[in-house]
A and B are shown apart, each in its own frame.
Chain A
Amino acid sequence: MSEMVSRRAAGDGARRADARAGSVSPARSGPVATVRRAVLWVPDWPVVAAMSDAGIGADTPAAVLHGRGMMAVSAAARTAGVRRGMRKRLAQRACPDLVILPHDEGRDSRVFETVAAAAEDVVSGVEISRPGLLMIPADGAARFHGSEESLAEALVNSVAELAGCECAVGAADGLLAAILAARASELVPPGTSRDYLADAPVGVLPLAAMERRQREQVEDLVGVLVRLGLTSLSDFTALPAGDVLARFGPVGRWAHRIGRGEDVRPPVLRRSEEDIAVRYDFEEPAQRVEQLALVAGHVAQQLDAALLEAGVRCGRVRISATTEQGDMLERVWRTDVGSRSGAFSRHMTDRVRWQLEGWLSGTSTGPEPAPLTSLGLTAEDVVPLGSEQAYLWGGVSGADSRAQRTLERVQSLLGPDAVLAVREQGGRSPRDRVLSLPWGQEAMPARRIEHPWPGRIPDPAPATVLPLPEPLQVLDAGGAPVRIDRRLAMSAPPTWVRLQVDPRDERAAAARRHPSSGHVGHGEGGPTWGLAQPVEAWAGPWPVAERWWSPDASRRACLQIALRRPDGSPGQAVLASFTAGEWVLEAVYD
């Protein structure tokens, strides 16, 4: 998919460069040869993708919400009166059963891959213009299928069967005419695109803009044209090209050419690369690791041979195994692409063995261990040999790949969640400022560090941050708990602090039993307090009120306290916070 995106970006860049070149020398206005193309359009793609991803039936009223309005609306919702651009509240009033789905561009492109694959079943090369819209050079494909009608029929059938969604196909010369034809399910005869477009309103121009920023520019342009009284495309295209460029700039020039039924660039086709997979079915369900290790080696060698035969390498390998109970055990391993060819099968053997050992010994998470019936390896992120991306300076570093392998080994030993990758993120308390994820997993968008975060605990950061805050006692000179009221006034300066100690410590346990320890009345289950330590110096209270609008709202006051040991030497420094009448220990500066 990244390939697709980059190609689209490249195509866009070419288009922009084209427009820029046009603005420099208006005389060089010769269009690229207009290509006859068929366009496959899936109506309301964002909502179709969201529904198929969420497993909602096609007859449910659903809509995708983006920003403040509905971005795409399903057919059932449209019948109920929901329209594009409607606010959430209005839409829910029109249709109370409306399922509102979040917007996700990645999901749109990802799910559209199945549609593209279904179209590639019929024709050899397609261009994904944007999720929901496919472009196919029609000439060759139509010759192969007999006529454009049969090509359109084959495309519609294939998409309905393989991808499970309705689509419309149209064909015409030039980009805009083809898109309009697809929306109307028409086949415009060759050479008549300009007439076909002449009656269309200028409002159709944004349909040919594939990128969001460009579409916004074109929408602005359309607004100006309508206010100038140029409502149909024929009115607009009748203007001299030079004047359009002078008045509207490159966007106007682009729209002028598109509106006349010309192309600004030829379609960029993508070739499908199939995932390479090998699979081994056990004649008898296998459970012993030695047996599996042999098979793992065999399968890995097969995959290596298949990759070599296809002349490609892969960036990731998906190992999947099926158990007797029908459970799927699946995990994706990264492999470093560039470095090795012969060593590949040995490394994959190791990984398969680690994974299976982990499952069968029950140490890693997953379904119940059971004998395996089949084992499969799928190569993903397939790239042709020799086009792998190495580091900017030199090749893949040996230490880096060694460390990656080590961590994968530990993951196979302890489970994938036992090894964490950490990142810094924005936040106020030391605990909030860390984002930790299982090693190798893609990071979620973190809170931004650059934001100001008023009330953040100042540096230096504490070296020990408790994952869960621990109770703590902050006492005044008389031994009564210090309290902080709503106006941040402290009842008394803190004089003593009692930290929790390990209850297994014998001296602490003995002290706990003594009536003067302050444990009387707390029963057996309460925390075990250590000796009261005098406060050397303190700072605060610093108020932190966060997310008052949400259920996880918190309101605390923080205190930095430096303690003194009983022998008079300086002790540790702690970060304590007071929330809901209780003191907790947040972090230790040790």
Chain B
Amino acid sequence: MSTQTDPDASQQRRLSRARAALKGVEARIGAPRPATDRPVLPLAPELAPLLPEGLGRGQVVSVTGATSLMLALASAASAAGSWTAAIGMPTVGVVAAARRGIALERFALIPHPGAQAAQAVGACVDGMDVVLLGERLALSDADRRRLAARAKERGGVIIAAGEWPGAHVTLTVERSSWDGLGAGDGRLIERDLTVAVGGRRQGAVRRVRLALDAAPGLRFARTGARIDVDRVNVDGEVA
């Protein structure tokens, strides 16, 4: 008996010692602020695996490969009262934005800012909560750095399509497969995205699999649908 309790006791002692040491270090250097302190914008629950810490204010999120993912990121904040601007996205599907939950009365489109893109984006970052940027904007790297700093100061979120050097979070869609089509029958119903999450403070690249456009009623309405219902509930980290 005693041979079994002794390692437990020593473990407890070591643990308490380690905790005391950690406390001492924290007292000397200053405790790190918990991550929840940072103000965040609301995020749709199905995107939580992508950004476990939430959509932090003042962040730059770069999204490659899926416009609908950009809209989904902005949707919950917009529904909760934030203003959203889409700059340099002449092809954005407004109906898709509305279906994702973006409130169109607080949604402005600036499709062709032209040579004055930097000023227009700057003004929007100052006054709007979420700014969606298209891929072909006339922004230099210095402009981008300035805009990121401005977003950090004002507490807005920039969601940029394509590469953004120094983005806090980089979401790259590596695989997107649609379900519901057959050979001349069916229709697009649901899709699976595999998103690689990287970024400045993200450590190693994670891969997250998530289902977009999954309408719960439809999944059971189609007979013979080859969809595994459980998959939606699984957090589904593939790698």
C-beta contact mask, A511-540 vs B, less than 8 Å → 1, else 0? 000000000000000000000000011111
Q: Does A60 contact B (CB under 8 A)?
A: no
Give the Cβ gap from B189 to chain A, nearest Cβ, in Å.
8
Count of B residues near A, CB < 8 Å? 56
> Which residues does chain B contribute within 8 Å of A536, judged by CB atoms?
181
Q: Which of A546-590 contact B (CB under 8 A)?
A: 560-562, 569-570, 572-573, 587, 589-590
Contact yes or no, A413 B188, CB < 8 A: no
C-beta contact mask, A413-439 vs B, less than 8 Å → 1, else 0? 110001111111000001001101001
Contact yes or no, A410 B120, CB < 8 A: yes
Q: Does A409 contact B (CB under 8 A)?
A: yes
**Residue in contact with B178 in the complex, picked from A407, A423, A562, CB distance below 8 Å:** A562
Contact yes or no, B176 A570, CB < 8 A: yes
Q: Does B113 contact A (CB under 8 A)?
A: yes
C-beta contact mask, A177-203 vs B, less than 8 Å → 1, else 0? 000000000000000000000000000
> Which residues does chain B contribute within 8 Å of A573, judged by CB atoms?
178, 181, 188, 191
Contact yes or no, B176 A439, CB < 8 A: no
Contact yes or no, B184 A363, CB < 8 A: no
**Cα A461 to Cα B128 with chains together (Å):** 25
**A422 with B107: in contact, given A410-B124, A537-B182 (CB under 8 Å)?**
yes
Contact yes or no, B112 A539, CB < 8 A: no
**A436 with B127: in contact, given A410-B110, A539-B184, A590-B65 (CB under 8 Å)?**
no
Give the Cβ gap from A543 to chain B, nearest Cβ, in Å.
14
Q: Does B22 contact A (CB under 8 A)?
A: no
C-beta contact mask, B74-116 vs A, less than 8 Å → 1, else 0? 0000000111010000111111111100001111111111101
**A572 with B176: in contact, given A403-B127, A458-B187 (CB under 8 Å)?**
yes
Q: Which of A431-459 contact B (CB under 8 A)?
A: 433-434, 436, 439, 458-459
C-beta contact mask, A461-475 vs B, less than 8 Å → 1, else 0? 111111100000000
**Cα A418 to Cα B113 with chains together (Å):** 7
Give the Cβ gap from A465 to chain B, nearest Cβ, in Å.
4
**Cα A465 to Cα B91 with chains together (Å):** 5
**Cα A141 to Cα B182 with chains together (Å):** 81
Chain B residue at minimal CB-CB distance from A459 = B99
Q: Does A272 contact B (CB under 8 A)?
A: no
Contact yes or no, B95 A430, CB < 8 A: yes
Interface of B: prevailing SS: mixed
Chain A residue at minimal CB-CB distance from B177 = A570
Contact yes or no, A423 B92, CB < 8 A: no
Q: Does A217 contact B (CB under 8 A)?
A: no
Contact yes or no, A406 B128, CB < 8 A: yes
Q: Does A460 contact B (CB under 8 A)?
A: yes
**Residue in contact with A460 in the complex, picked from B96, B106, B126, CB distance below 8 Å:** B96
**Residue in contact with B183 in the complex, picked from A423, A493, A569, CB distance below 8 Å:** A493
Contact yes or no, B108 A439, CB < 8 A: yes
Give the Cβ gap from B239 to chain A, nearest Cβ, in Å.
15
**A405 with B127: in contact, given A462-B93, A590-B65 (CB under 8 Å)?**
yes
Give the Cβ gap from A578 to chain B, nearest Cβ, in Å.
14
Q: Does A271 contact B (CB under 8 A)?
A: no
Contact yes or no, B114 A414, CB < 8 A: yes
Known: A465-B96, A561-B181, A573-B178. 13 other contacts (CB 8 A): A399-B81, A399-B82, A403-B127, A410-B120, A422-B107, A424-B95, A430-B93, A436-B109, A465-B95, A539-B181, A540-B184, A560-B188, A570-B176
Seen from chain B, the residues whose Cβ lies within 8 Å of a Cβ on chain A are 65-68, 71, 81-83, 85, 90-99, 104-114, 116, 119-120, 123-124, 126-129, 175-178, 180-189, 191, 213, 215
User: Would you list the 3 A-B pairs with minimal beta carbon distance, nearest first?
Assistant: A406-B127, A537-B181, A570-B177
